[in-house]
Structure 1
Amino acid sequence: MATIESDLLGPRERLSSPTPDQEVKDGEEKRQPDDATDSAVSGKPEPAAETDPDLRTPGISPAPEGGLRAWLVVVGSGFIFFSCLGFVNTFGVFQQYYMAHQLRDHTPDNVAWIGALTAFVQSGAGAITGPLFDRFGAWVVAPGAVIYVFALMMTSICTAYWQFILAQGLLAGIGMSLLQVSAFASVSQYFEKKRATALGLVVSGSSIGGIIFPIALSKMLNGSALGFGWSVRVIAFIIAPMLAFASVTVRPRVPPRRTNLFLGEAFRNVKFLMLTLAMFGCFVGMLTPLFYLPTYAVSRGMDPTLASYLLAIVNAASTVGRIIPGMLADKYGRLNGFGIGGITTGVIVLCMNSAVSTAALVVYSVAFGFASGTIVSGASAAISVCTDDPRNLGTYIGMGMAIASTANLIGPPINGVLLDTYHGFFQVSIFSGVCSLVGGVVVMLTKAAMPQGVFGKI
């Protein structure tokens, strides 16, 4: 029997020098009883674990933490967030414009459903688009770009409420989801130690888009003869070449996962469940000023064009708020950065009704933008600690975002009902601020359940 085993092992060793993982497997095989070798000689099938395609995947090298390819992925992903989340962050301009023009006969909560549906689908569809990226890689990016640009073109010709729901709400959200989840997962594969910093740089693209789009849209809608249709089409023409670049550069680093499309194990992971709940609360609080700050400013007597510029101020401040806290999170812990960002955002949202003058609204916009900038990039970096296998990052991030995105579907319409019922923003700020505070506290409770404790660098 020893001779047979030697004959079997000899050719395998001569084909290639064993990796450390292979040496462990060989050691395990050598410790198997003789009947395991007899089964190999007799041609019996190997155990199922040996034929698992993921177990046959070569060892995945450590993340490079940089290099030309990695930074091209970061730039392409930044273009994606500039085009997608940057556009979503301007919905306050659409909210104010729709209520004065095409949808003036609809209530604020009805109009808010358009933006809420976009925000929900772009994250909610991640339950499907995340696993699709893990399975098919970059092949999902180009279709997402085509769908998104097409949705913007269709939005430009909409006149009825149901048309805006289908084009700007549903179709644009699907295209955004295919793009954004791919960007999150790709960047996470190239960076480990610097992951929060890299994701902060990527998501800062949405802040830059949130600076440019509100100013451009407000100027075109309120200060030019272009009209609504051509104003939206101009935005689509700006976005199209950026997404074309992203379609070429955003590529995964690791081989695709060839087993189950969905990972049920995530829902047995306490960290994953608690962080998803935390994202839900933080998203409710974060979206309120993005949707209603221009409307609130107009109610305080501010000029509509100037009120639209507040979103640009918010996004300018969040550019810094996404990069600097990301760098600190890599040093002091990703959960620390996410939790502190959620708590700080909640406190600031609670104070929204106290900003009554133009100067106060500008200062408030800067403070909210900086604090809320940590949430999107911080949430993705936090979710990434739930798995050690980079091939599962897209699925984990996609599923977590999908569940948490119900906040996007619930929060803005509830705020619209509160506004329509009480004709003021006090109740709106209380509801949203408390939700964000709860989200930040849940992150800290997640840390308390881990070996490092509340004060650990997690």
Structure 2
Amino acid sequence: MVTSTDNIELNNGSDSSSPEPLARNPTIRILLGCGLLQLPAWGFAMTFGIFQDAYSKQQVVKGAGTATGVIGTTMNGVMYLSMPFLATALGRDRWAPWRRTVAIVGTLLASASFLISSWSTDVWHLVLLQGVLAAFGNTMLYTPTTLWLDEWFRDGNRATAYGIQFSIKNIVGTACPFLMYGLLDRLGFRNALRVWAALVLIIGVGGIALVPLPPASARRRQRNIPWSFLKHQTFYIYAIANIIFSSGYGLPQTYLPTYASQYLHLPAAENSAMIAFFNAPGILSCTGFGLLHDKVHLSATNNTLISAFGSALCVFLLWGIKSNTVPGLLIAFALGFGFFASGYSSTWGGWIADLEREAAEHNEAINSGMLYGFMNGARGIGYVVGGLSGVELLKAGPVQNSQWALGTKYGGLILFTGISSALGGWSIAWRGWSCPKRPSTGMR
């Protein structure tokens, strides 16, 4: 196979004769540094539902209401959509030395955007500053971390390394709802944004400083970008499945607190906890789905099916039944859907392994870091579609006249989430059933 990246030799501290201190072990530092950067990159995007609830209730800016839900989905959409372009540029030999600078500039842009947004007076100010500018700054910070991980773990355990980062991302998503609620409750929306801007700046710069530079042997030797993967249907099947699944994945993250407030009449702190319930299971499932591929050698098809169909069942059997009157059902949905849906992105490691095997069969070059960026781009398209659809689905109202959750104004949104989850797995299953079977050798 022709590859665009040289092999990497990692010191994992396995040499018992001269153990390396954890603070100096590059493998530990890359995991810790990239893990720390999950907070400024994803903390606000993953818990925007807390701010969405505050915006809609307090009417702190003109035009607040259901339209503020677009801010969160726009933020996620911009982040994911811009990743393929940044990953492609920073994956090239010419621009690779600028990754750290790009991450620092992104931290400054995100921090400044959150700070300026604290003086917003209209919804469109928040859409521009938080949904677009801060989101792009977050992407500039996050994209280099995926490329660093790809280089350090090129020879093995890449799916697990990605899974660990996704797990840390879900730790952020579990802790931040309580942090955001506390800031909003004690300081108000404007001062809460100013404190968050400071946290983004301090933690972002600190995390970047912790990440070690890859050894010379790990750096890319790439004169031309390998686009040959675009000739194969496997890439399009995975990309389309990702778009479909992601169009529904972001909706509970945005609307759960507001849904709980309107129908269960829970206190504000318990509404905020719904986002924590949603994100907490991913701490285990993200690493778990990565290990299923790397260690158990479960095929990418089966791994994805477990995630997608498990998510769909949680939507139809828990959220869609009586979650509007039984708090336990809504909590069970948040936990179950959070577990299965959060693990979906960890199955990408298996997808990339399939694409690498396909490239090897055709003796083609492939850039796995760039592929990962394109997977994020597909997710971004899904977020944008889901965000726009969510606003219209709320206007459309219930899908049936009943006392079930499907009979509430969120009925169409619930149905959309369940169907998109199921189709996100069916597309991958169709690829697995229609293509010749090849033995899974795990991530190389």
Counterparts of 1:233 and 1:382, CA distance in 2: 40
Structure of higher CA gyration radius: 1
Distance 1:152 1:251, change over 3 A: farther
Of 193-202 and 286-295, the range deviating more from structure 2: 193-202
The equivalent residue for 2:7 is 61
Aligned pair 1:404/2:379, yes or no? Answer: yes
Counterparts of 1:172 and 1:390, CA distance in 2: 34
The residue identity in structure 2 corresponding to 1:240 is L
Distance 1:168 1:279, change over 3 A: same
Q: Deviations over 1:431-452 (max 9, x none)?
A: 1111111111112223334443
Counterparts of 1:420 and 1:314, CA distance in 2: 25
The equivalent residue for 1:234 is 195
CA contact (8 A) 2:256 2:274 kept: yes
1:83 to 35, 40, 61: 40
Aligned pair 1:435/2:420, yes or no? Answer: yes
Aligned length: 400
Aligned pair 1:122/2:79, yes or no? Answer: yes
Of 79-88 and 384-393, the range deviating more from structure 2: 384-393
Aligned positions of 1:99-248 closer than 5 A: 99-100=56-57, 101-103=59-61, 105-108=63-66, 110-135=67-92, 136-137=95-96, 138-139=99-100, 140-191=102-153, 192-222=155-185, 224=186, 226-248=187-209
Q: Deviations over 1:390-425 (max 9, x none)?
A: 972222222232233111111022122111221522
Aligned pair 1:74/2:31, yes or no? Answer: yes
Other structure's SS at 2:91 match: helix
Of 263-272 and 116-125, the range deviating more from structure 2: 263-272
CA contact (8 A) 1:98 1:104 kept: no
The equivalent residue for 1:394 is 369
Aligned positions of 1:249-398 closer than 5 A: 249=211, 251-252=213-214, 254-260=218-224, 262-300=225-263, 301-330=265-294, 331-333=296-298, 335=300, 336-350=302-316, 351-354=318-321, 355=323, 356-379=325-348, 382-383=351-352, 385-387=354-356, 392-398=367-373
Counterparts of 1:456 and 1:448, CA distance in 2: 19
CA contact (8 A) 1:291 1:412 kept: no
CA contact (8 A) 1:353 1:426 kept: yes
TM-score when scaled to structure 1?
0.80
Larger helix proportion of the pair: 1
Distance 1:286 1:369, change over 3 A: same
The residue identity in structure 2 corresponding to 1:174 is F
Counterparts of 2:310 and 2:204, CA distance in 1: 33
The equivalent residue for 1:5 is none
CA contact (8 A) 1:65 1:190 kept: no
Counterparts of 1:65 and 1:313, CA distance in 2: 37
> What is the root-mean-square deviation in Å for CA atoms of aligned residues?
2.8
CA deviation after TM superposition for structure 1 residue 246, in Å: 2.9
Distance 1:250 1:367, change over 3 A: farther
The residue identity in structure 1 corresponding to 2:382 is A
TM-score when scaled to structure 2?
0.82
Counterparts of 1:216 and 1:361, CA distance in 2: 22
Give the unaligned 5+ runs of structure 1: 1-20, 22-53
Counterparts of 1:150 and 1:341, CA distance in 2: 37
